[in-house]
Every structure is written in structure tokens, then in C-alpha cells.
A and B are shown apart, each in its own frame.
Chain A
Amino acid sequence: MMEKKVNAIDVRNVTKIYTSGNTQTKALKSANLTIYDNEFFTLLGPSGCGKTTLLRLIAGFEDITEGSINLFNQEIVNLPPNKRPVNTVFQQYSLFPHLNVYENVAFGLRRLKKDASLVESRTFEVLELVQMKEYANRKPNQLSGGQQQRVALARALAPEPKVLLLDEPLSALDLKLRQAMRFELKTLQRETGITFVFVTHDQEEALTMSDRIAVINEGEIQQIGEPEQIYESPSNKFVANFIGEANLLSGVCKTPGENGVCELDTGHELNLFVPPHIKQNDKVTIFIRPERIKIEKSSKDKSQLSISEFTYLGNAATIQLKSNNQLINVNLPIEDLKVFKKDDYVDIHFPKESAQVID
């Protein structure tokens, strides 16, 4: 990790406005990000957040409203899609229905005017890579969804693009296949060494496959970071809620500063880092993951927290604690399943570093 990182894609102040009639929609608002060479980079966000727009801008399918996009330090905004050394895997695969698998995969190489022998060897090479060699003569409509997916992948990989763009490629597959393909995609990326830019709304997909993730909402990039970073220290409430489960507890800051103290509305006092812009007696929101909270038995006179919901999951349980107006979600490990039951009074504690003041 000490080697110098090469910038594959630089997105600088990119804004995209869709105009239809008199209404304008801002799909992207001055987005900035850098994707490094050889990286599995994921654009994650809810539908309509602008992640697909950004991908289409990189591919050249949309005209940019403002800003610039560089590919290996070369400006590509003014190039048509066929002049950009990037290839796309489409959500619905979009295989050419009148061409067989071989011709689909060879399409890009033929357009690049490669030698006939090279076209053939490279086409079979990528078909081998996605284990579709024996289907070379089939038409796309004779293939299952998973097979079409592989062909779409092979077609995009065949011309050896500098960057591969993937637009929710797994969303049309069923669950089992999707989980298997996650693994395969990740392996494929490592083996080929091609930079992958992967668009998804599925946080699990993003966390399991990515080297880094950019979380996008309403056309703005919320946070960029490695999966652990995004999960453990989300930069705002949106990221905290969108990725995994989160408790956002309200409280008041008692002592500001690096070794600050906040008091939750439940009466618990916490020692934690308080960001400099928060002053004494300011209202704060504290973020903590349900699996970080430990509970122990207490009694009615000592604690206001009681178990209001108890959901058995087989290998664990999720419980909801209630106090005044706050609900706190806690994941209960398997060894505690028998210890607690509904309406028990409990006390909570958690490691200092797992709680965080959040905007």
C-alpha cells in the first residue's frame, strides 16, 4: 500500500442538470472524486441519487453540464463514447439480440479494427475467463440471466478497457446467483487488474466487494472511504442510516473538546470526542451501531430502560429498548438469548470509541 497511486478517473466539480420543458432537475451537484488505478470503486446510493448519471457521464452517454472528467490525466468530456477507452456493463445486459455470443463479444475488437486472428484469440480468451466458451454459438435469448450477465461482462472486457463501468449488473439476478457473482466479479477485478467502477443501491454488495465506496445522495457525494471507514465512522446521518443499522440518539453536550462529555436523554453520560464546532449545552446526535451496545440486567428503580421488543433470529436476536421517547436497537449475541426477555429492565454500556457525535 506504500506504492504511489495512479489516478484513473478524476471527477472535478461535475454538475449535471436535466432539462425537460420548463423543469430542471439537478442530478449531480458539483461532484468531486478520484478513482485510483486497479481499484474496485463503488458508487452507492438510493435510486435517483445520481450515481448512474455519474457513470453515464464517464461513459459519455450524457452531456456534462459543468465540470471536467479526466481519464489517466486526459480530459475526456468532449470525446464521444466510442473514443473513450472505457466499457460498460449495462443493468439489463443489452446484448445485441441478432448476434450470437461470439459476435457480441468480438464486437468491440472488430470496431477497433484488430487483426482477425487477434479478435478470435482474445474473444475466446475472455469467453474462457467467464466460463462461457461452449456457448459461443448461442443467441442471447437462448441464455439464462446469469449467462447473459457473463456474456455482457466478457463483451465489455474483451477490448481491454482502462476502466470498466458496471451499472447495477447484479440487480436482475436472483439472490443465490447474485452472491456467487459478487465473489466472481471481485476475483475478476483482481485477476485482470482493470479498474472497476461499480454502481449499486445494495449496501451489502458495496461493503463486500469494494476497495473504496462513495456514498451519494440527492446528487451530492456524502462520503468517500474504505468499507470499514464508511461503516464504522459515517460522516453524517444519511450515511449512518443508509449503511447498516444505526442508533442515532439525542443528547446534550456537557463538556466540549477532545475529551468531551455528552449526556444522552436516557440519562447516560458518555466520554467521547466532540467536534470543535459544538459548544457546551448544544444539542447533539450520538451515533452507535446496535452490535456495539452491551446490556446487563438492572431493576426498575435503577434504570428507565426496558426491553420493548424482542425479535428472535435463530443465530442472534435484535431487541429494542425504550426509555421516555427514545428507542435503542441492540443486537443480542447468541449466548445472551436465554438471559433476557421482554419487559426486563436493563442497563447499557459501550466502548467509548464506538460512539460518535454526528451531524
Chain B
Amino acid sequence: MQTKNKKTKFRYVWNFPGFGGWTAIFFGFLYIPIFILVCYSFNSSKFAMIWTGFSFRWYAKLFSNDDIQTATINSFIVAFAAAPLATIIATFSALALVRGGEFRFREFSSGLITLPLMVPEIVTAVATLIFFASLGINLGLINVIIAHTVFCIPFAFMPIKAALEAMDPNLELAARDLYSDKTSTFKTITLPLLTPGILSGFMLAFVISIDDFIITLMVAGGGATTLPVYIYSMVKMGVSPEVNAVSSLMLAFSIFIVTLYWFFNRKIKN
């Protein structure tokens, strides 16, 4: 019995000494700052770090701040333009790469699409800035939309590709066998089955676009400021409770979108 106990002692990771404590520290480090930020957004004091009482004062102030509203609207315009565009491009890429049969550079192309995930964002940001500057493209918000579309493609691509790879290719063959031509097979079988994947790709692209800071900072000119860029400019003048409030709202929105993303992702697996 003695030897058996020794063998099984470390079979599960939670049998290691201090596992629970370390886990608590780890999650605390990740989430306590965010939790405190959200708490202080309801602080009635005008000093960010001194708690005086509960109030919605800063949220009310946000909604009367025209600059924040413009920046928020800009962020949504960019996300609602860039995320669908990225999703459409990602869908066609995934279809070509997964269902397009064998062709040259297939593996290579697949890698090339997801490569931007590994490239440091600042590199992409500077490169995008130089690209627009050297071509003299200066269309304000359109520049931001173009940049966001490009870097959102890999994020939209991954869940769509995964959904397509999980789909039994015999389903499409079965439809073709049952007198369905290529177009109607795509419409009646492939697309409906791929919809959860496409939606989750869209959600991911949307969140990434809404949250992006570095690339937007480089690309956005005057009048094209998005919310994260505006928050940064507010922080430069000191952390006010208003910043806490607007950050909390962004957090709530992101959580909502990510929840939707997981919901659709689970649907793919069933």
C-alpha cells in the first residue's frame, strides 16, 4: 500500500503542495486590478484612488462628454466595418484552404494568413503607418478601417477554419449525390453548418477591433480617434474616475461579445 500511495500521490496536479495558494495568487494578480478599477468607477470622489461613497456620477459625466461619444461612435464604425469585411475574407480563405483540394503553397498560405498573430503589433503598426504615408492615403477613418480589416483577418480565420475542418466532408458529397449542384450545396449545407464558426470568427474580430490601441494610435489621424486612443490621452492627463468608468463599460461590452463567442463556439462542437 505504501508504494502504491507514493505512485499515485502526484497523479493529479492539485496534489502538489501549495497548488491552491499559487493558483489564488495567479488569478488574483490577473483580476484584482480590474476588479478594483470597476469598483472605483462608482466612486463619488473626484480623486481616483480615494473612496468617499457610491455614485453613478462619472457614468453620467461620460454621457455628457462629446469627445468620448465621438470616439465611441468612431470605434463602433470601425469595428462594424472592419469585422464583417475581415470575416468575409477569412471565410473565403478558409473555404479555399480547407475545401479547395490540393494546390501549390496550400500549407504555406495557411501559415501566412495566421502569421500576423505572431508578428509584434508595433511592427505591424509602424509598417501600416509607413504604407499609408508613402502612398499618401489619408482618408481619416477609412485608413483605420483598412488597417483593422487586415489585422482582424487571422482572428476571424481561425475559428472558421476550425469549424470547416470539423465538418464531415461527406455531408457535401451526400448533398451532391442527392442532385444538389455546387451552388445549392453551399447554400443549403456548407453555409448553414458553418454559420456558428463564421459568427464566432466575427465576434472575435469585432472584440479585437474595438480593443485595438497600438495600430490605431499610429494610423488614426485627427478626427479619427477611437475609444482606446482617447482613453490613453485622458490617462496622460492623470487617472480620473471618468477613465475608470469608460474602461468598465468597455470591459462589460467585451465580456458580452466574448460570451457570445463562446456560445457559438460550443454550438460548433455539438
Contact = CB atoms under 8 A, between A and B. Distances in A.
B180 A111 contact: yes
A61 B179 contact: no
Nearest to B176: A81
B189 interface: yes
A20 interface: yes
A94 B168 contact: yes
B170 A98 contact: no
Contacts of B66: none
Interface string A83-97: 100111010101011
A321 interface: no
Q: Which of B102, B175, B178, B189 has the most CB of A within 10 A?
A: B178
A90 B175 contact: no
Given A81-B176, A107-B175, A92 B168 contact: yes
A141 B181 CA distance: 26
Given A20-B102, A98-B193, A159 B174 contact: no
A98 B173 CA distance: 16
B26 to A, nearest CB: 38
A180 interface: no
Given A96-B189, A97-B193, A88 B180 contact: no
A155 interface: yes
A224 B177 CA distance: 27
Contacts of B102: 20
Interface string B161-186: 00000001011011111111100100
B192 to A, nearest CB: 5
Contacts of B270: 141
Contacts of A88: 173-174, 177
A50 interface: no
A108 interface: yes
A111 B174 contact: no
A254 to B, nearest CB: 56
Chain A residues touching B, range: 20 to 34
Contacts of A94: 168, 170-171, 173-174
Interface in B92-115: 102
Contacts of B189: 96
Interface residues on B, range: 10 to 19
B141 to A, nearest CB: 38
Interface centre among A81, A83, A155 (most CB of B within 10 A): A81
Nearest to B171: A94
A243 interface: no
Nearest to A167: B170
B132 to A, nearest CB: 41
A111 B170 contact: no
Nearest to B189: A96
A112 B177 contact: no
Contacts of A207: none
Contacts of B174: 88, 90, 94, 96, 155
Interface in A43-94: 59-61, 80-83, 86-88, 90, 92, 94
Interface in A108-157: 108, 111-112, 141, 155-156
A92 B193 contact: no
Interface in B242-266: none
A20 B174 CA distance: 24
Contacts of B184: 111
B171 A87 contact: no
A61 B171 CA distance: 12
Given A61-B173, A96-B189, A82 B180 contact: yes
A107 B178 contact: yes
Nearest to A90: B170
A155 B178 contact: yes
A80 B181 CA distance: 8
Nearest to A87: B177
Contacts of B181: 80, 82
Interface in B136-180: 168, 170-171, 173-180
A86 B102 CA distance: 27
Nearest to A103: B188
Contacts of A87: 177-178
Contacts of A112: 179
Interface in B10-32: none
B176 A82 contact: yes
Contacts of B175: 96, 107, 111
Nearest to B193: A98
B173 A82 contact: no
A83 B182 CA distance: 12
A87 B270 CA distance: 27
Contacts of B173: 59, 61, 81, 88, 90, 94
A108 B170 contact: no
B189 to A, nearest CB: 6
Contacts of A59: 173, 177
B170 A81 contact: no
A80 B171 contact: no
A93 to B, nearest CB: 9
Interface of A: 20, 59-61, 80-83, 86-88, 90, 92, 94, 96-98, 107-108, 111-112, 141, 155-156, 159
Given A60-B177, A94-B168, 10 more contacts: A60-B176, A81-B173, A82-B179, A83-B179, A96-B174, A97-B171, A111-B178, A111-B184, A155-B174, A159-B179
| Closest 6 pairs (CB-CB, A-B) | A108-B178, A111-B179, A94-B170, A81-B176, A111-B180, A94-B174
5 contacts: A82-B177, A94-B168, A97-B193, A156-B177, A159-B178
